[in-house]
A and B are shown apart, each in its own frame.
Chain A
Amino acid sequence: MTGSRHYFGNLAKFGIGVGALLLAISFAVNAQEIKPDAAAALAAWDRIVGVLGHPRCLNCHQDRIPLQGDMRRVHIPLVVRGPDNHGVGPMRCANCHNGSGNNETSGAPGGGGSGVWQLAPPSMLWQGLSSADLCRSLRDTARNGGRDGTALVGHVDIEPLVLWGWNPGGDRTAVPMPHDEFVDQVKTWVAGSMACPG
């Protein structure tokens, strides 16, 4: 047969083509081992961590003494956590950080309601944590006030002291990401099983 050489040649080419296609498919399947929602969660976390490190948040997620202002200096006058996170004696947080807010000339921020102003509990210390450690801290129910994903979203959505960060008054810079966008990022992160960087 005059075409037999061509037939086997074409068969070989066909075989190689199929083989190459199968190889390509197997690579594509391996690339999808990181599920899309976990990848999205990691990307969301990168944006969330920027907000958590903003002075309006980090200034009160401290060990014993809050920081103050965009320059993050030690609070003046000196105030300390105290046994219930609300300060000590005549220097309780709410004594100057009035729950209904202060008059504008005062410069002392307030709001959020009666008795709200406080240091975040010691388990929520954020100062000095890496992005990965902060991520793990936030999803650890032993440290985050027993909050599951839904509760975490609720916390950033409606907690008065959190919301204050977007409306701090005076010359304090607000958190730069719009609040509803931040809530969406937290929802994405929660939906991706709160994936944390390595």
Chain B
Amino acid sequence: MVSLNVNGRDVDLEVSPKMPLLWALRDLVGLTGTKYGCGRALCGACTVHIDGQAARSCSIMVGDAVGKKITTIEAVSGPVADAVKSAWQKLDVVQCGYCQSGQIMSAITLLSGNKTPSNEDIDLGMEGNICRCGTYQRIRAAIHEAARALG
């Protein structure tokens, strides 16, 4: 029995502690906003927050997320999250949308640690999130827009 704190709620799961967190979140907790892209921490589609820091849920085992605050795209909140979501909508960043939960979760972590990221900061911070539709220019612009809004 594994007990997780997901989006502020405690959930008990009868699973092996070695199950990847992504599986638990999508299949058992029912939060399908986080996506499976590669399963190998190479694409970032599975990005969630663990204790506020971006983490690849495809790789982290459920047992290692016990006792930590897990936040998914469905519930991420706060001034940085609000600024990022607004910028994403304002600039119409999304195409197919598959990568975008991961992009947003990473962008929130980036801006939480650095309110005025340079283009190089954005390159290095968002390296782990791949977009097959190629919306990178809009992602970059939206991060700058969110930074502006955060003042």
Residue tally, chain B, CB below 8 Å to A:
32
B128 surroundings in chain A (CB, below 8 A): 77, 90-91, 95-96
Residue tally, chain A, CB below 8 Å to B:
24
B110 surroundings in chain A (CB, below 8 A): 89-90
Q: Is the CB of A91 within 8 A of B124?
A: yes
Q: Is the CB of B124 within 8 A of A95?
A: no
Q: Is the CB of A90 within 8 A of B109?
A: yes
- The contact of B127 among A78, A100, A102, A105, by CB within 8 Å, is A78
Known pairs A89-B110, A90-B54, A107-B41; A102 contacts B61 (CB<8 A):
yes
Max chain A Cβ within 10 angstroms of own Cβ: one of B19, B39, B56, B127: B127
Interface residues of B in 1-57 (CB under 8 A from A): 18-20, 39-42, 47, 53-56
**B92 contacts chain A at the CB level, 8 A cutoff:** no
* C-alpha spacing A80/B127, complex, angstroms: 10
Contact flags A89-127 to B (C-beta < 8 A → 1, else 0): 111101110111111011110100000000000000000
* C-alpha spacing A76/B105, complex, angstroms: 20
B39 surroundings in chain A (CB, below 8 A): 105-106
Q: Is the CB of B40 within 8 A of A108?
A: yes
* C-alpha spacing A92/B53, complex, angstroms: 9
- The contact of B114 among A89, A102, A103, by CB within 8 Å, is A89
* C-alpha spacing A95/B44, complex, angstroms: 11
**B73 contacts chain A at the CB level, 8 A cutoff:** no
B59 surroundings in chain A (CB, below 8 A): 96, 98, 102-103, 106, 108, 110
Nearest chain A CB to B51's CB is how many angstroms away?
10
**A79 contacts chain B at the CB level, 8 A cutoff:** yes
Q: Which residues does B use to contact A, with CB under 8 Å?
A: 18-20, 39-42, 47, 53-56, 58-61, 63-64, 105-107, 109-110, 113-114, 117, 121, 124-128
Q: Which residues does A use to contact B, with CB under 8 Å?
A: 76-80, 88-92, 94-96, 98-103, 105-108, 110
